[in-house]
């Protein structure tokens, strides 16, 4: 019965490797004058090399395919105190990068191999064709989203697998980072590096071995150790497989020599990983899982002095592993014979370098641009209210209407108005404004000019409408259009008493924005004149009042005198002659 | 027939240590082949961590301390490109030294093709600079497996650490007590025939890299 659960799989790899990949002999590589070269299986004297250099792609005119543009945008200021505030803006970094190998290096490597092996037939056919490529950005400026230190790799993705294929990258940074990046680019080793992580595969030396998997034991072991995680890093997967081997859930036996045991374990583990896990690139992780996996990567990056985890050597930071549904009963028997294909990683690091030193003044490479477009501008005109106006809302003023009129350079006209009352003033302190747009107002100083008018409504019905005034200031300041005036009554009451004056009646009248106001006072010779005066409100600039004084006598008819006063003084002891 | 080269499997008991005139130490091992035993073929383990020289002649690191509008330090960033390996002249010197030590037939084939070790890069030290650098590590690449290639390391310092980093980074004592560690995996064969992978650790203090 047991037999029916045993699946026998025979892996004979020596002649079965019919993929398109180059069958380079991975255990037989040599560093030939700085270039790693590998012989190709069944092709005597033929070598391939690992690409060695990465650099910016060049245009036909030999300029690097690189640009760094900083832009400045105006933004609304919340600060109404300072007249110089921070503008908005940022930077856009764009470059194309590729990896290749200088011909001279290849020629030197070929000479090296020929001399080393005393064989002039050796030749280098070309570069290793990589199975897959990833890039990772190393930069504390471009990798940080928040501006604070983040132990995460944000910039990563697929990289070309063929030499000379370009990878285009673009980054948008905020205003502060754009300045920081510019300063960094002025240095010999700027804070922008790119790692190409290139995987290639090749054939190991010969081996023969068996691998037995007891799925019920696998299940038990995994139930005990998995916890709640759905995704793992390859390092954790390696630990898991080592544990399975220790728990005898998997058994690996080599037949004959153990010379290639390590390659064998690698091959067997890779086969098990294929059966038990699904590879998920970081960018394809579900949102909910991404944070957890990135934290695992961060922990791994930060881990210090730990012993190696598991038997997986070529782990990657760009891929997570998700456990597959697999069998839970029965056994699988696998036999491995011959060579096996194993994966290796090759890293090429690229740094932007001292581009600024060479091209800092070349505007096709480094440029600062103000993104000011008048069509998108608007003018805010604020209304400032003097404290006297505020006080007069209690006594004299019902409302103030402020109008602006803007004649645009395309001959169109904008008219806006705001109504200020005691209530609206109290709820919009400092925030009353009107806005006009830019209608082809190409002359900026003329665009800032506008006309304004104020209309005052007073308690009692009087109205004052100002003339249109031209100004360019950002604020229209409102001051009351009237002033208080004291009209004093002056005279010698003793003398008037001696002249048999019983009482003096004084009446004044004056214009107040279209209304005729009048007030009167009666004085007796026994009064104190210091307590007798008029306090009136006159439009600003208007001092003249009309007055009429009447003297009442004990023994003669009343006498009257009319006059005009500009000085605030009415003499009540100048009795006219009959 | 092309001579077989075993780049990955080294014979454990064949170590030859040589020291170049500039003080760099090289550990060389004979290579093992399943098909041919070539007792004259040696490979050396990774060695000589360095800051490569850029085209402009500078060492490949940068430290940028930035300030706010009131000229108060606001933060700092640092970027390193770190490499390992020998120059051509050092390799030639090593070849001659190996011949004098292991016999005239000894051939130094180059550096062993190591595999990636998980914790491949580390700053080690009990001093303040090491502590700050470890705290500020923002992102890094992988230790290259081929000589004279580079690993990129980016640091971002908090305002508090930025106040100290400029002085600490240029302090000789701090540099001397701050070590850069690289780890590799290399396969060895014991004399009893068993094979194992060993973590090869190379280290260099920061002062040596900067000077």
Residue ranges making up the domain that contains B63: 9-210
How far apart are alpha carbons A171 and A94 in whole angstroms? 6
Q: What residues form DSSP beta bridges with A12?
A: A337
- Point out the residue among B81, B111, B117 whose CB comes nearest to the CB of A189: B81
For A12, A96, A537, the CA distances from A90, given in Å and listed in that order, are 58, 20, 57
Cross-chain Cβ contact B141/A349 below 8 Å: yes
Q: Would an 8 Å CB–CB cutoff place B6 in contact with chain A?
A: yes
pLDDT value at position A167? 86
Domain annotation covers residue B140: yes
Cβ–Cβ under 8 Å, residues B64 and A356: no
Closest CA to A279 of A126, A420, A131: A131
How far apart are alpha carbons A52 and A56 in whole angstroms? 14
Tell which B residues from 114 to 133 touch A, by Cβ distance under 8 Å: 115-119, 122, 124
CA dihedral B188, B190, B193, B197 (to 10 degrees): -30
- Point out the residue among A26, A180, A235 whose CB comes nearest to the CB of B66: A180
Q: Which residue of B has its CA nearest to A183?
A: B64
The better pLDDT of the pair A367, B36 is held by A367
User: HSE-up of A387 (CA within 13 Å, CB side)?
Assistant: 0
Angle (CA) A197-A199-A201 rounded to 5° is 160
pLDDT value at position A388? 79
Cross-chain Cβ contact A262/B81 below 8 Å: no
pLDDT value at position B130? 96
Q: Terminus-to-terminus CA distance in chain A, angstroms?
A: 150
- Per-residue pLDDT, averaged over B17-44, amounts to 80
How far apart are alpha carbons A210 and B131 in whole angstroms? 48
Tally of domains in chain B:
1
- Chosen from A55, A101, A150, A189 to mutate, greatest number of chain B CBs within 10 A: A189
Q: Would an 8 Å CB–CB cutoff place A208 in contact with chain B?
A: no
Domain annotation covers residue B66: yes
pLDDT value at position A238? 72
Mean pLDDT for all residues in chain B: 87
The better pLDDT of the pair A176, B130 is held by B130
Closest CA to A386 of A353, A358, A425, A347: A425
Cross-chain Cβ contact B155/A140 below 8 Å: yes
Domain annotation covers residue B3: no
Alpha carbon A360 to its chain's center? 25
Q: What residues form DSSP beta bridges with A571?
A: A490
Q: Is the pLDDT of residue B142 over 50?
A: yes
- Chosen from B66, B133, B141 to mutate, greatest number of chain A CBs within 10 A: B141
Cross-chain Cβ contact A349/B118 below 8 Å: no
The better pLDDT of the pair B159, A1 is held by B159
Cβ–Cβ under 8 Å, residues A345 and A248: no
Cβ–Cβ under 8 Å, residues A185 and A142: no
Q: Which residue of A has its CA nearest to B80?
A: A189
ipTM for the predicted complex comes to 0.82
Residues of B in contact with A188 (CB under 8 A): 54, 56, 58-60, 62
Exposed / middle / buried, residue A145 (Cβ in 10 Å: 0-12, 13-18, 19+)? exposed
The nearest CA of chain B is from the CA of A336 a distance in Å of: 18
Domain annotation covers residue B1: no
- Which pLDDT band holds residue B4 (cuts at 50, 70, 90)? very low
DSSP A14: T
Each residue's pLDDT, cut to its tens digit, for chain A (578 residues) gives 333 333 444 444 433 343 445 788 887 888 888 898 999 988 999 999 999 999 999 988 889 999 999 988 766 555 555 555 556 788 999 999 999 999 999 999 999 999 988 999 999 999 998 988 888 888 988 875 544 444 444 567 888 888 888 888 888 888 888 999 999 999 989 999 999 989 888 887 666 667 888 888 887 877 766 555 677 777 777 777 777 877 788 887 765 444 455 556 666 777 778 888 888 877 777 777 777 777 776 666 555 333 333 333 344 566 788 877 766 778 888 776 666 677 788 889 999 998 999 999 998 999 888 776 777 778 888 888 887 788 888 788 899 999 999 999 999 999 999 999 888 877 776 678 898 988 888 888 899 999 999 999 988 888 999 999 999 888 888 888 888 889 999 999 899 999 999 999 999 999 988 888 899 999 999 988 888 899 898 998 888 999 999 999 988 899 999 999 998 899 998 888 86
Q: Terminus-to-terminus CA distance in chain B, angstroms?
A: 47
Alpha carbon A390 to its chain's center? 42
Cross-chain Cβ contact B138/A137 below 8 Å: no
Alpha carbon A398 to its chain's center? 48
* Least-confidence region, from A17-31, A409-423, B53-67, B152-166: A17-31
**Sheet arrangement for strand A6-12:** A6-12, A331-338, A207-214, A250-254
- Per-residue pLDDT, averaged over B187-202, amounts to 83
Q: Indicate the pairing of strand A319-323 with strand A277-281.
A: antiparallel
How far apart are alpha carbons A250 and A275 in whole angstroms? 13
Domain annotation covers residue B4: no
Cross-chain Cβ contact A187/B142 below 8 Å: no
Alpha carbon A225 to its chain's center? 42
Cross-chain Cβ contact A189/B155 below 8 Å: no
Exposed / middle / buried, residue A454 (Cβ in 10 Å: 0-12, 13-18, 19+)? buried
Q: Is the pLDDT of residue B174 over 80?
A: yes
**Sheet arrangement for strand A193-203:** A156-158, A132-138, A193-203, A341-351
Domain annotation covers residue B65: yes
Collapsing DSSP to helix, strand or coil, A142 comes out as coil
- Point out the residue among B2, B146, B155 whose CB comes nearest to the CB of A50: B146
How far apart are alpha carbons A381 and A478 in whole angstroms? 13
- Point out the residue among A262, A314, A357 whose CB comes nearest to the CB of B197: A262
User: HSE-up of A215 (CA within 13 Å, CB side)?
Assistant: 15
Reading phi first (left if > 0) and then psi (alpha if -120 to 50, else beta), residue A45 is in: left
Element (H, E) at B66: strand B61-67
Exposure class string for A317-335: b at 16+ Cβ within 10 A, else e: bbbbbebeeebeeebbebe
């Amino acid at each position: 019965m047991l037999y029916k659960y045993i699946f026998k799989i025979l892996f004979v790899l020596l002649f079965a490797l019919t993929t398109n990949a180059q069958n380079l002999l991975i255990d037989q590589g040599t560093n030939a004058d700085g270039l790693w070269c590998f012989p190709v299986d069944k092709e005597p004297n033929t070598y391939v090399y690992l690409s060695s250099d990465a650099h910016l792609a060049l245009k036909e005119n030999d300029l690097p395919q690189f640009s760094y543009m900083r832009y400045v945008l105006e933004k609304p200021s919340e600060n109404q105190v300072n007249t110089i505030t921070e503008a908005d803006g940022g930077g856009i970094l764009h470059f194309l990068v590729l990896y290749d190998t200088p011909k001279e290096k290849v020629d030197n490597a070929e000479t090296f191999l020929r001399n080393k092996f005393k064989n002039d037939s050796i030749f280098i056919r070309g570069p290793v064709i990589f199975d897959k490529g990833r890039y990772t950005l190393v930069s504390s400026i471009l990798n940080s989203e928040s501006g604070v230190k983040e132990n995460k790799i944000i910039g990563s993705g697929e990289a070309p697998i063929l030499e000379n294929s370009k990878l285009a990258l673009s980054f948008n940074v905020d205003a502060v980072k754009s300045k920081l990046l510019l300063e960094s680019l002025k240095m010999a080793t700027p804070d922008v590096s790119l790692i190409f992580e290139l995987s290639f595969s090749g054939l190991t030396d010969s081996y023969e071995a068996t691998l037995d998997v007891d799925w019920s034991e696998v299940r038990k072991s995994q139930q005990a150790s998995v916890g709640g995680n759905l995704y793992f890093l390859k390092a954790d997967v390696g630990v898991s497989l080592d544990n399975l081997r220790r728990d005898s859930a998997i058994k690996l036996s080599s037949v004959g020599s153990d010379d290639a045991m390590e390659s064998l374990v690698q091959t067997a583990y890779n086969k098990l990983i294929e059966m038990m896990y699904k590879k998920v690139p970081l960018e394809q992780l579900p949102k909910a899982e991404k944070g957890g996996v990135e934290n695992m990567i961060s922990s791994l990056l930060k881990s210090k002095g730990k012993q190696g985890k598991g038997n997986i050597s070529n782990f990657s930071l760009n891929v997570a592993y998700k456990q597959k549904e697999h069998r839970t009963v029965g056994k699988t028997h696998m036999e491995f014979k011959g060579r096996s294909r194993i994966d290796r990683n090759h890293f090429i690091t690229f740094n932007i370098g001292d581009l600024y030193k060479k091209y800092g003044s070349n505007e096709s490479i480094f440029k600062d641009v103000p993104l000011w477009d008048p069509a998108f501008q608007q003018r805010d005109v604020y209304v400032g209210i003097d404290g006297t106006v505020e006080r007069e809302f209690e006594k004299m003023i019902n409302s103030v209407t402020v109008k602006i009129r803007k004649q645009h350079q395309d001959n169109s006209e904008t008219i806006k108005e705001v109504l200020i009352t005691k209530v609206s003033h109290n709820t919009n302190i400092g925030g009353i404004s009107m806005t006009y747009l830019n209608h082809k107002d190409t002359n900026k100083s003329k665009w800032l000019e506008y006309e304004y008018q104020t209309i005052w409504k007073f308690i009692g019905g009087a109205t004052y409408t100002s003339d249109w005034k031209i100004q360019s200031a950002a604020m229209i300041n409102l001051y009351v259009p009237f002033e208080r005036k004291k009209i004093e009554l002056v005279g010698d009451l003793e003398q008037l008493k001696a002249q048999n004056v019983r009482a003096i009646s004084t009446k004044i009248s004056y214009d107040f924005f279209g209304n005729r106001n009048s007030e009167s006072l009666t004085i007796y010779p026994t009064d104190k004149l210091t307590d007798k005066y008029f306090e009136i409100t006159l439009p600003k600039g208007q001092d003249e009042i009309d007055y009429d004084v009447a003297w009442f006598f004990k023994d003669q008819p009343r006498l009257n005198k009319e006059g005009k006063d500009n000085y605030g003084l009415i003499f009540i002891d100048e009795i006219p002659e009959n | 027939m092309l001579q077989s080269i075993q780049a990955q499997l080294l014979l454990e008991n064949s170590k030859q240590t040589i020291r170049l005139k500039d003080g760099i130490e090289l550990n060389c091992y004979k290579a093992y082949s399943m098909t041919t035993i070539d007792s004259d073929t040696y490979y050396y383990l990774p060695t000589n961590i360095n800051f490569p020289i850029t085209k402009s002649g500078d060492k490949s690191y940068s430290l940028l301390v930035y300030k706010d509008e009131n000229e108060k330090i606001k933060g700092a960033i640092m970027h390193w490109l770190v490499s390992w390996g020998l120059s051509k002249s050092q390799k030639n010197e090593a070849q001659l030294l190996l011949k004098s030590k292991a016999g005239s037939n000894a051939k130094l084939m180059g550096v062993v093709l190591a595999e990636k070790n998980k914790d491949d890069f580390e700053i080690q030290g009990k001093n303040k600079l090491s502590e700050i650098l470890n705290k500020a590590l923002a992102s890094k690449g992988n230790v290259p497996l081929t000589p004279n290639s580079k690993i990129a390391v980016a640091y971002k310092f908090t305002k508090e650490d930025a106040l100290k980093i400029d002085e600490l980074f240029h302090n000789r004592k701090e540099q001397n007590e701050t070590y850069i560690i690289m780890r590799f995996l290399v396969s060895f064969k014991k004399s009893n025939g068993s094979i194992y992978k060993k973590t090869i650790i190379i280290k260099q203090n920061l002062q040596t890299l900067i000077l």
